[in-house]
Structure 1
């Protein structure tokens, strides 16, 4: 007497089944390795009581898989083979960027010989789900993968549910391509952002024991100051110096700690200052430089240093000025043409090669050279 498959499958799914998501829907499925040998592509067999289709996306154990084989169906279950998606690629349609999970291989299987065939060097095969977005892929369309440019040389749509792309290496376009983030033609439709964060108290400052000072921090994008930037502050030793998320610092105990300010949504953009907790009554000087953050080729601008003691501006101190290239190169792409006390005039050089580079203007307190502050000045071509 033959036992019905339905109750058996229900039992195994209930007792041994694992939670997966098939095209975003929660399901129970039985998963097993497709082969006993270790392979470059992680392949598994999936069996579920719900319908499976070639091209289905399956999320299993925090990994994403693509159902790549013809699905075997019987009365009560579906069974298929799936491969782990090993790359994500971004395709750009006139500024509309879409990301896709794909299976990328440099080898293919020959149905004629039954053997694995290595593809020519620089060529890859990309498998991805056939859907409304991927049907817009065209020949010669470019994309990036692992910071390398490829273009589509062939499109196979004969397998229901999956599109196979034959691709070959292509040249990198540094003018438009966001190579770091693997997005082709990004800067053709978007503005490239260069963020910077600057703490105006310099690299070292002092805070009185059991008192507070306010950090003076500005953020810029392409040299233009950002209004009300969201900044995260972190103390290297909160038992010595604390800081709140408005940049107010308090001296907790005598000693030294660093405060790091980060742009909250661009955490790699940061600036750090060393703070020393001193006894009350000690002079605590800080300097702020006021002036234009952008200079065009051949133009001049004036800058003024404001000196503070315990956060109150004082007028009995002076600074010395210096200028350097932000990247440390020489010759300096500008010059100090006039200096009178705490005022200075900076002129940008005439070289067109200075575009999108920057000068660093430094003010150093004469009475205490450990007190310095810097201002970044972005350089732009006149036209």
Structure 2
């Protein structure tokens, strides 16, 4: 046994290459195989014990292979099996999904009487791995292979790990896609996940909600009764539950993947600290004004004591709380936060000292504030 193990290890060292067997990467080597009967590209593959089984999918030598024999085990040191190069990627629509799998397509079959390969008249055999997808294929399912239409007339599962479909020629249908080699392709409903509230902002201490809908792109209709799955790609920023409710964890940016039946879209969000606003404002300018003089006043807006931009609305009132427009001055022009006024002659000093109020309020800072202006000669 030690001699055999040493022999195998030497062969691995000399001829071993990376081999992927059912998505697992191992080291193995190939030996030429010739049965003098068929023209398939068959080879022996030697691998450590327990790695390969009949029906395994192998990726090596730039090709994809299917193990078509039960492995022969040599003293629990290594397994040796026959693999065949695949020559087709067979496709079918099931449950509105395109399934595709490597396959061995042949128009010949072994005649058990003569022991020779004979042509299948108007038929072909398709050998595939026996798995969760290929088990969905049934009699009368249709395929496009070699630019021709075929339908399944027999399903053979007698060889463990393999399924052999016998198909007979069929006519091309109006919904068949010859370029993609998918039968009934035009009956496929194509869906799209739309995000309705992308680039949302969520405050710390509150929650957000992903708003998504499924669109049937064939007629642009919204599909009702859909259940999405949600995955937070940045759980240190925010988590998401099965209903799409987002709970912030820390300040920052993140994304959530929204999926329906392998169709996905991304929801982007920003988590911010809660900001408490404390808006104040003032009106500044001359507090005395002479007859016929022109003066400019400024509306100053603040948030938590910091200056902010705001657009002001101006008015001139008498010096009382009745908010009666004054006749002692008029507005000449305004900008976003300034107002230029002119003092008129419509007052008599003999009646006593006169004042006006210059009022302003902003779009953000809405409180009405004023500056009291004394009129002088």
Q: TM-score, normalised by structure 2?
A: 0.48
**Structure (1 or 2) with the larger CA radius of gyration:** 2
Q: TM-score, normalised by structure 1?
A: 0.47
